[in-house]
Structure 1
């Protein structure tokens, strides 16, 4: 399924590099499109309200107003039941690089359209001084 990348995106150099190396560089179209459409910044220069890898965010579903906390992670660390979602999932791809207040949009595997506001970036590794996670 092809995902449309919505909104401005910002990635740290480290996140960009690690994501580009997934699949030995043979990236799925969705990830390749995301990487091509992002602004790249040094880890020390990323604004604290940008969703980076291992950021914990609070989302508000635009239809149900349900709040949910999620952490965007690499596929090997994904535990959806615990709130750790893979950056390669539709939700993960919709979140990575967005700013607090932005609208994340994605399609479920069954084709349903979903959207949620990034209400808060609760934790971002770079904002806490961790530039290597």
Structure 2
């Protein structure tokens, strides 16, 4: 997947994701793709995350090109799914695609079944860092 957009990760998100992935006994294709994204990301301190970048616990409106459907979800860790009604796990294919992207960016991403789809960020409805929440 060449020509992917630049992505930004907060050091807190990176460390937490790295810790979660280290505990996974057998990496799935989604885990492997997320690791690749983490490796190519620009890391910044939480206070330096731009206001339009998707971070963990961000509520994001995005579109899938294949269907044209728009979704509004909160990016979360797998163990938080039950507590967050509109939660989307970072370990879901679309969740892994969203992290680090900015409003207006899109990324070609492998989906279940092996096909690629384009995920586009339409709006960042809420972001913890914009509210001064740096360690959520």
User: Which TM-score bucket, shorter chain as reference?
Assistant: 0.7 to 0.9
Residue 14 of structure 2 corresponds to 16
* TM-score where L is the length of structure 1: 0.85
Deviations 1:63-120 (A, max 9, x none): 44322101111111125x9431111111011110001101133232222322232000
User: Deviation above 3 Å: which 4+ runs of structure 1?
Assistant: 23-28
Q: Contact 1:60–1:68 at 8 Å: present in 2 too?
A: yes
Going from structure 1 to structure 2, the CA distance change for 1:15 and 1:116 (only over 3 Å counts) comes to: same
* TM-score where L is the length of structure 2: 0.83
Q: Counterparts of 2:51 and 2:19 in 1: how far apart (Å)?
A: 25
Going from structure 1 to structure 2, the CA distance change for 1:21 and 1:101 (only over 3 Å counts) comes to: same
Going from structure 1 to structure 2, the CA distance change for 1:29 and 1:107 (only over 3 Å counts) comes to: closer
Cα shift at 1:7: 1.5
How does 1:64-103 map onto structure 2 within 5 Å? 64-78=67-81, 82-103=85-106
Secondary structure of the equivalent of 1:32? helix
Q: Contact 2:94–2:119 at 8 Å: present in 1 too?
A: no
Going from structure 1 to structure 2, the CA distance change for 1:45 and 1:82 (only over 3 Å counts) comes to: same
1:39 aligns with 2:42: yes
Q: Contact 2:109–2:119 at 8 Å: present in 1 too?
A: no
Deviates more, 1:4-13 or 1:21-30: 21-30
Q: Contact 1:104–1:118 at 8 Å: present in 2 too?
A: no
Structure 2 unmatched ranges of 5 or more = none
